[in-house]
Chain A
Amino acid sequence: MISLAGRDLLHSWGKFVFTGVGLGLLIGVTLSMAGIYRGMVDDAKVLLDNSGADLWVVQQDTLGPYAESSSLYDDTWRSILGMSGVARAANVTYLTTQIRQGEHDVRAMVVGVEPGRVGEPGQPGYLAAGRQITRGHYEAVADIASKFKLGDDVQIRRSHYTVVGLTRRMVSSSGDPMVFIPLKDAQEAQFLKDNDAIAQQRRRTAENPAFNRPGTPGLLNAVIASQSANPFVNAVLVQIEPGRAPEEVAEPIRRWKRLQVYTRAQMEGILVGKLIATSAKQIGMFLVILAVVSAAIVAFIIYTLTMGKIREIAVLKLIGTRNRTIAGMIMQQAVGLGVIGFVVGKIAATFWAPIFPKYVLLEPGDAARGFAAVVVICMLASVLAIRAALKVDPAEAIGG
């Protein structure tokens, strides 16, 4: 049996393929938009994955450390380490700041970790180049997205750091690259004001007669020293013993240490549900509109294609072709167009995804759903065209 659809297609294959490619680019945009949405959610999730923590211990009544600021004394982790079910605990600080390197600067999330404790929570889990931090000061491990290279000298506040290692996909929930530095430096970076501010603060303190008493010469120095200390961290990351339920370990810490503890599920809820909620909804909304528009365009294209050969269809009807055959032809063409479009779209999306400044995650599941949607839309659109085609009067083939 001769395939009517194939025959018709061969008749004007150039037009067909180019329509398919055009459609494909549109589908590619839709897939990319889905990828951008997924990438956004994934950024939030890798932040949690990379921290390697099962529990986040933060200041009471805060949503810290990512969604709100939180501060704990830096010796809190010891008492948490003593709680039942806690396998490992580590201090961590987070600070989003501009990191200067020579002329330009990069927005990054500076993470303070205990140096040299490989495999502890908070540490970069794996590297793409270089080595982990070994010295207690002035070394940094940066994410590739920051564009830093091994051996680069970067400046955070007043200190200079040497980049000794590179990571990949270690980003904050807003997609900023992470830069790991030793905890003590990070505490300083978070707290330390610029030199002018420090000088002014000293002057103010010195002018305050309560702190600068003539009879007690050492008092002023003691006050200034106490003003420039920072015994705080933002969170304590906890890994629990295998076989323990996170909530079961978290509850005693909440109750007896009077600190807020979030489990992985709660943290994901905070990040995805609160921190990136609005921007994710924004993208999601755009994705929905784009999908609807794409569907409409696909439908119109197929309808127009069919209407373009209404005279040929009339001829077919005139020579007694069955309606089923005509309907099959239209539907096969529509689905074929959809498949070409999807293939082109998937290829295009894959090739342009890495160029985006933020992460674009193209999930195979999304691709499969997209494929199903494209096929369904094409079939639905062809139904309209089929209705129009079947209604055509065979007389039009000779008349008109």
Chain B
Amino acid sequence: MKRILSTNGRTLALIAVLVPLLVLFIYVALRSGPLAPIPVTVTTVENRAIAPALFGIGTVESRYTHKIGSTAAGRIKRVDVQVGDQVRAGQVLGEMDPVDMDQRIAAQTSALMRAEAAALAAEAQVQESSARKAYAEKQAVRYEKLLQAHAVSEEGASMKQQEHQIAEAGLAAARANLEAARQELTRIHAERAGLHQQRANLRLVAPVDGLVVAREADPGTTVVAGQTVVEIIDPASLWINVRFDQLRTSGLRAGLPVQIVLRSRAGQKLPGRVLRVEPLADVVTEENLAKVVFDMLPKPLPPLGELAEVTVALPELPPAPVLPSATVQRVDGQLGVWMIRDGAPHFAPVKLGTTDLDGRVQVLDGVEVGEQVVLYRHRAIDGGSRIKIVEHVPGVSP
């Protein structure tokens, strides 16, 4: 009797070990590996309005950049401004070496004075000639009267007549001389003025009020015609040259409000608006370009060339069935979502509309508002998968 009891006890002990082991084994076999149900999370198709937005990056640029340099090759004599200086319109920024320009002006000045003297001499000659002519004319008239009274010989009278004519010609010549001297004076005047202009052209002058952003050559440097010496921008004209991926630029137009985040000021959103959409796109990068301006210029000014992220808000669309785009999957070449019907997944092909930057997409066709759709999943599912709806996919911390 005692023997049987002890045998029974041992049997029980063995069963107590083996049965939990077997149960654990069956649990392990069914709950892990390919036979286990796939943990998924679900979401519901919502009827809501989405506001699509565009995201682009760009660089801070200046609308007006004045590159000031010499119009002729030459050596730089002086550069008066440094980078960062504020300059006013008309301010002299620097000067090219005039070489012999000043001497040429001095020569012209002397030539001018000589021409002025020559003009005075010519005037005096005209006076002299006209005095001579007046006397000759009187003489001629007197001899004419004397001839009529037969007081002088005909020869004497015609000689006076001739003297008168010579005096007249002399006056005309003197007048012509005077005219020539005056013209010469004007010519030398003009030439001198031209030299002055050229001299002035050697000065580098600011065309507008602005900020010096580059000083690319220093005194002594020889520059070619057109080479920039000083670069000036208008700080008030800063804008951002933004590039948008062509895939998602429908609806981009001037006047839309934007949010600008400068790389140096991450986390600080600056308001602005689209100034214009460029009519030319970038062929190589397949991006469309737009210019965006700040509503109010940030202080201090961002450096030119700084990277900026620009988010353009497009007008809100009318409400429609909306799903997170993470629900969408391609199965056998068709876009669709996994709908939950009777606890099992069914693939429903869908037609998608606009998406927004939060990953929501309008579903034009294929699902109804209120239907449950698989959102996140632990692994890929197919029509035969067993699923288990969970709050969070295992491994993802809430």
Contact = CB atoms under 8 A, between A and B. Distances in A.
Do these two chains interact?
yes
Contact of B34 (A135, A137, A364): A364
Interface string A309-347: 000000000000000000000000000000010011011
A139 to B, nearest CB: 9
B55 A128 contact: no
Nearest to B335: A119
* Chain A at the B interface: SS class: loop
Nearest to B283: A75
A93 interface: no
B244 A118 contact: no
Chain B CB count within 10 A is highest, among A13, A127, A130, A343, for: A127
Contacts of A129: 376, 392-393, 396
Interface stretch (A94-102, A164-172, A194-202, A253-261): A164-172
Contacts of B10: 10-11, 13
A17 interface: yes
B397 A149 contact: yes
A364 B33 contact: yes
B258 to A, nearest CB: 14
Contacts of B11: 10
A209 interface: no
B325 A128 contact: no
Given A126-B380, A131-B358, A343-B21, A168 B7 contact: no
Contact of B332 (A130, A169, A184, A242): A242
B33 A217 contact: no
Interface in A144-202: 144, 149, 164-166, 168-169, 184
A217 B225 CA distance: 10
Given A128-B393, A217-B227, A364-B33, A350 B330 contact: no
A80 interface: no
A214 B75 CA distance: 13
A134 B53 CA distance: 10
Contacts of B245: 115, 136
A363 B33 contact: yes
Contacts of B21: 340, 343-344, 347
Given A127-B376, A131-B358, A116 B248 contact: yes
Contacts of B227: 217
Interface string A215-251: 1010000000000000100000001011000000000
Contacts of B284: 231
B224 A214 contact: yes
A343 B34 CA distance: 18
B34 A134 contact: no
A182 to B, nearest CB: 9
Given A10-B10, A125-B329, A231-B284, A132 B377 contact: no
A343 B248 CA distance: 56
* Chain B at the A interface: SS class: mixed
Nearest to B328: A118
Nearest to B381: A126
B32 interface: yes
A56 interface: no
B169 interface: no
B25 interface: yes
A131 B379 contact: no
B282 to A, nearest CB: 12
B395 interface: yes
Contacts of B324: 131
Contacts of B17: 13, 17
A362 interface: yes
Interface of B: 7, 10-11, 13-14, 17-18, 21-22, 24-25, 28-29, 32-35, 55-57, 222, 224, 226-228, 244-245, 247-248, 284-285, 309, 324-326, 328-330, 332-333, 335, 352, 355-359, 361, 375-380, 392-393, 395-397
Given A127-B376, A128-B377, 19 more contacts: A10-B10, A10-B11, A13-B17, A17-B14, A117-B247, A118-B352, A127-B326, A128-B378, A128-B393, A130-B326, A131-B324, A132-B359, A134-B325, A134-B356, A134-B357, A134-B359, A214-B224, A242-B333, A367-B29
29 contacts: A10-B7, A87-B333, A115-B245, A116-B355, A117-B247, A118-B325, A118-B330, A127-B375, A128-B393, A129-B376, A131-B324, A134-B325, A134-B356, A134-B357, A134-B359, A136-B55, A136-B57, A136-B244, A137-B309, A138-B309, A168-B378, A215-B224, A217-B226, A340-B21, A343-B22, A346-B28, A347-B24, A363-B33, A364-B35
Closest 8 A-B residue pairs measured CB to CB? A131-B359, A119-B330, A135-B55, A128-B393, A127-B326, A129-B396, A10-B10, A136-B245
Interface of A: 9-11, 13, 17, 49, 52, 87, 114-120, 125-132, 134-138, 144, 149, 164-166, 168-169, 184, 214-215, 217, 231, 239, 241-242, 340, 343-344, 346-347, 350-351, 362-364, 367
